[in-house]
Amino acid sequence: MADDDDKSAGRGAALARKALERLLARAENAAAKGPAQTDRAGRSVTLPLSEKSFPEYLRLQRHADKAVCNASLQLAELDGAISVEWDHRAGERAHVQRILLRDGAGLARHLGIEPRWDVVALAKRQFEPHVAAHPVLAHVLEAWRKGNLLRGTRPGEVASWLDSIQVMQYCASRRGDDIAIRRLSASLFRDSKRIEAIWPALDALVQGDATMVQSEMEELFSELGLVKFPPTLLVAGNVAVSYGDETVRASRPYVGFAPSVIRSAHVDPGSGQRLLTVENLTTFHEMAVQRPDDAIVIYTGGMPSPSWKRAYVVFLKALAPTAALHHWGDIDLGGFRIASHIAKCCEQEGRSLRLHGMRANAVLPGTVTRRELVPSARREILRICERWGWGDEAGALGALAVEQEAMDPCWPE
């Protein structure tokens, strides 16, 4: 008999707590709009114990279970956290019609739960020193106020964002260098894989916008100079490179260099009339074999790292002012983001970059494998094209992405 009483007490108390927690959740949502006790329209926060809102209460089979549940709700009422409305047709305090919030903070204390508004307020204080430099943190707080996840972080999970800022600050201090990602992660956080775990938040901070399409992880790390191993810059062309303490010619079909060691370059007269960068390795090999004497081809290795971009500028400085600069990559967001980084290198040297092979309407339907281009990615591609004056590519953009490897190799006219 005692066991049955214990079970009833347990069931009844657990159900009352569930109802109170649901009321607190409603209060947290209301607090995102106004005072914790009301929503934006000033309506009180309530929870009807009805078939629609809380059917578990109506399905209690045992009188003892219901009595314990009712008693537990009355304790919260005595604590000043809620008010209980009774259905008087069922008898004296026999059936609860609904519970009403009286004190959101009091309800949270009664339950021993830190309410979301306190969690977000603490996060706001922790973010305060960084919001000016990283306005995206304001959007993080707004999402958390509503109880939403942002870039995989729940309300109050500030560590992912603060650690990401620490990574960005370190990378900025080593701009142009390649940084061993797991060594840095172990040094900063005593966890060699911490940076890889927080990359969605890191990406939002780097992009400056948490709503933009998330980068690929490897693209993000390359952009910051974070590498698992030092990159190799592959070059095909009639060019001599000052490499460390010696001069190395880029013999056919191509030569690989550590970009951080490249000091300068000398292009043979008449051979540096055009420079083509290529996103994907398969296409680079094909273009290197087919290379005309007046062309230089460089493999980007996906998203170019800071050391790659520094080496690329070395080649730009070696070219004649009239040399044509082209880039060929995937017709997708990643491909246009890569092109944008290279275009910025050119702009800093007073030059302009043109795209090659990235007009979607020039690819015959059915000849390559395509995939859907989500609307948000399409919008960002159009923004990039507008930024760099790539009007033809913007006008040709459709609803499908095209991988570079699926297209036949060809040279810019």
Is the pLDDT confidence value at 370 over 70?
no
Fold of 233-406: Dna Topoisomerase Vi A Subunit; Chain: A, domain 2 (3.40.1360)
Q: Where are the domains of the chain?
A: 2-111, 116-227, 233-406
* pLDDT for 1: 44
For 259-273, write each residue's pLDDT tens digit.
888 999 999 876 668
Query: Strands 324-328, 354-355: parallel, antiparallel or unpaired by DSSP?
Result: parallel
Dist. CA 331–CA 404, nearest whole Å: 7
Q: How confident is the model at residue 6 (pLDDT cuts 50, 70, 90)?
A: low
User: Burial code of 58-70, b = ≥16 C-beta within 10 A, e = fewer?
Assistant: eebeeebbbbbbb
Dist. CA 385–CA 395, nearest whole Å: 9
Dist. CA 10–CA 163, nearest whole Å: 42
For 339-358, write each residue's pLDDT tens digit.
999 999 999 999 999 999 99
Q: Could you tell me which of 393, 364, 365, 368 has the C-alpha nearest to residue 381?
A: 393
* pLDDT for 367: 57
Q: How confident is the model at residue 7 (pLDDT cuts 50, 70, 90)?
A: low
Q: How confident is the model at residue 93 (pLDDT cuts 50, 70, 90)?
A: confident
- This prediction has a pTM of 0.74
